[in-house]
Amino acid sequence: STKWASYGMFYKYQPLDLIRKYFGEKIGLYFAWLGVYTQLLIPASTVGVIVFLYGCATVDENIPSMEMCDHRSNITMCPLCDQTCSYWKLSTTCATARASHLFDNPATVFFSIFMALWAAMFLEHWKRCQMRLNYKWDLTGFEEEEVSDHPRPEYEAKILSKVLKKESKNKETEKEKLTWKDRSPAYLTNIVGILFMIGLTFAIVFGVILYRISTAAAMAVSSDPYTKDNVRVIVTATAVIINLVVILILDEVYGSIARWLTQIEVPKTDKSFEERLIFKAFLLKFVNAYTPIFYVAFFKGRFTGRPGKYMYIFRSMRMEECAPGGCLMELCIQLSIIMLGKQLIQNNLFEIGIPKLKKLIRYLKLKREVKLEPDSNYKKPQQYEADYNLEPFAGLTPEYMEMIIQFGFVTLFVASFPLAPLFALLNNVIEIRLDAKKFTTELRRPNAAKAKDIGIWYNILRGIGKLAVIINAFVISFTSDFIPRLVFMYLYSPDGTLHGFTNNTLSYFNVSHFEAGSEPREAMALGYKVEICRYKDYREPPWSPEAYDVSKEFWSVLAARLAFVIIFQNLVMFMSDFVDWLIPDIPKEISERISKEKLLMVDLFLKEEQTKQQIVEESLKGTAIPLLVLIAPLVYGLGLLFILPF
């Protein structure tokens, strides 16, 4: 604990051989995987920082943000809510527009492709490291079925109760097994329970959406000018904090529910139990952690309608819109707060604070017992007694789960937050030593268990890597303004630059066309009467014969977005599969050693067979005549017995 579990040793490699000898191969592979993951976050963090610095260096040259910050343009925007909200100037979103460029710039596309390839290379690198450890730890010929096929006590008890119900006590229980009919109530409970939990998550996210809409409308009529100017930032920050608190609470609830649902299934083996538990817990926690982010990325601002014909919730609450610069900045805020808050509070504070608190409670309880028995001769507890008072080992599922969810934050929405790998790296440097300290000082020593790999977690990682390609393609295409800018430059710009892009993305609306009761109460809030306001969309102007219909440019941008998704997805998938094919799963030196060992084993067996054959031949040479003397009468007698009956 003074070496490996010391935070001051963060720059040193882990003693994996000693970890394996003390805790077993299963825990040794976890720390090996965590070390490889953390090590490979270094290049991802470096590239992410470079992309962020590129955005910082080019923010003053970004034409769309310069146009939004130009006070001389005098662009009047339509109200963000009915009645209570008033008209506002586009230049008030200057800070948001400049901040969006830090993450929404041409380098973002390159970084998304890089991270997709990084995920593929990480999995390939881990397979090679895993093979090296298997060879080093003599696990190449080990099959997990050798130790994982034994039925669990709960399964045997269920079988025994089934046999007793049939009143066939003499029947062997090994021939009995749970059928689909026996498991159907548990399966039905699992399906209903999981769907209910997912529905609960959606309902909570919907509740936060209502909070955002109502709070924005209430703050719009505030007398405080600072509050009115920062409505969007305040509402976004508070809503994300609410989401974070709910995620932390539901994570603990979903973990317990997943275990209970798995227990009522009564899986046959420990391996089957663990895999089913992992799948349920991951599904629930994945939905819990990413649903608010999915909403901001793909749904917010998509179904708002237009001025004069907005979409409403409960017929009174207007759907919220994205900022004129897009929802990418809000997505970045949402992702960063949830990721950092989850790592700081759940992964570190809970892992440090809760074990320390339980240890303090046990110490106070022991001290109180000593005070209640003053005549007793208090003796310092032996080491085995102190070890028994530690927390029992609950398995590696929580440790893997927090890292897998973090891997999702790093890869799924990396197009909106290039600094995610850097924060993951900083967290994992502490996480390795934190887990080491927990295993050596806070938990009872677990029973050593053999394992060749990390099990179902590898398939989950692979699935997240494939999903990340699709999600990042849609984030770049539909959430950011990357595609609309390209379409404008090559099809609509008079000089092939982005000059005029902001004005091109804003449509016109005649304020006299507001629905009755939805027009702003303070029509003169800007000091003049507004006749035309602007809103972000591609629609025909009110003086057009097809007023407020989607324009041809809308269909051009939509076609370009869909084309980009298809090209990006297939290109990156092909490159990832090519990397997978190019890098062999087994290192060359390991495969050569294994082949050499097999040849040596074959040679050894051949030599042993030759030696045995020589011994037999020599023994037969010395005893050939006595054997004939003994065998001849026996053969003659058998022949007579066979012939006489005929």
pLDDT for 528 equals 80
Which strand (E) or helix (H) includes residue 485?
Answer: helix 482-487
Tokens of 169: 């006590």
At residue 50, the pLDDT reads: 92
Check pLDDT > 50 for residue 23: yes
Instruction: Report how far apart, in Å, the C-alpha atoms of 558 and of each of 296, 298, 474, 497 are.
Output: 19, 14, 12, 20
Q: Which of 627, 536, 591 is nearest to 302 (CA)?
A: 536
Which range has highest mean pLDDT (16-20, 309-313, 601-605)?
Answer: 16-20
The per-residue pLDDT for range 142-175, each reduced to its tens digit, is 666 555 567 777 777 777 776 666 654 444 444 5
pLDDT confidence of residue 623: 52
Q: Two tokens at 302? A: 């998509």
The encoded tokens of residue 126 equal 């881990």
Percent of the chain at pLDDT > 90 equals 13
> What ranges do the domains of the chain cover?
7-158+178-372+389-585
Q: Distances from the Cα of 306 to the Cαs of 62, 78, 344, in angstroms? A: 28, 10, 41
The token pair that represents 466 in the structure block = 């494939």
Tens of pLDDT, residues 403-449: 999 999 999 888 888 889 999 999 898 888 888 888 888 888 888 88
| Mean pLDDT over the full length of the chain | 81
From 316-325, 392-401, 623-632, the region with the lowest mean pLDDT = 623-632
Q: Give the gyration radius of the chain's Cα atoms.
A: 34
Cα→Cα distances 130→38, 117, 342, 591, Å: 15, 20, 29, 13
Secondary structure (3-state) at 79 = coil
When pLDDT is averaged across residues 79-89 and rounded to a whole number, the result is 81
pLDDT digits (tens, 9 = 90+) for 555-597: 999 999 999 999 988 998 888 888 888 888 788 888 888 888 8
Helix axes 456-474, 552-582, angle to 10 degrees: 150
> Is pLDDT above 50 for 504?
yes
| Residue with more model confidence, 372 or 402 | 402
User: Where are any strands of DSSP class E within 29-141?
Assistant: 76-77, 88-89
Evaluate whether 587 touches 136 at the Cβ level (below 8 Å).
Answer: no
Q: Which residues, listed in sequence order, are joined to residue 550 by a DSSP beta bridge?
A: 539
Give the Cα separation of 233 and 100 in Å (integer): 13
**What phi and psi, each to the nearest 5 degrees, are found at residue 508?**
-105, 145
| Most confident listed range (124-128, 134-138, 527-531) | 124-128
How far apart CA 37 and CA 27 sit, in angstroms, is: 15
Tell me the mean pLDDT in the region 206-234: 77
178, pLDDT greater than 80 = no
Find tokens 């097999």 and name the residue. 598
* pLDDT confidence of residue 363: 72
Alpha-carbon torsion angle 109, 110, 114, 116, nearest 10: 20
Residue 629, pLDDT > 50, answer: no
Residue written as token pair 């066979």: 642
Q: What is the model's pLDDT at position 202?
A: 92
The one-character DSSP state at 72 is G
Residue of 357, 373, 356 lying closest to 437 (CA atoms)? 356
Q: Phi, psi (5° rounding) for residue 534?
A: -115, 155
Asked if pLDDT for residue 389 goes beyond 50, the answer is: yes
What pLDDT is recorded for position 218? 78
pLDDT confidence of residue 298: 86
pLDDT for residue 234: 81
With bands split at pLDDT 50, 70 and 90, how would you rate the model's confidence at 126? very high
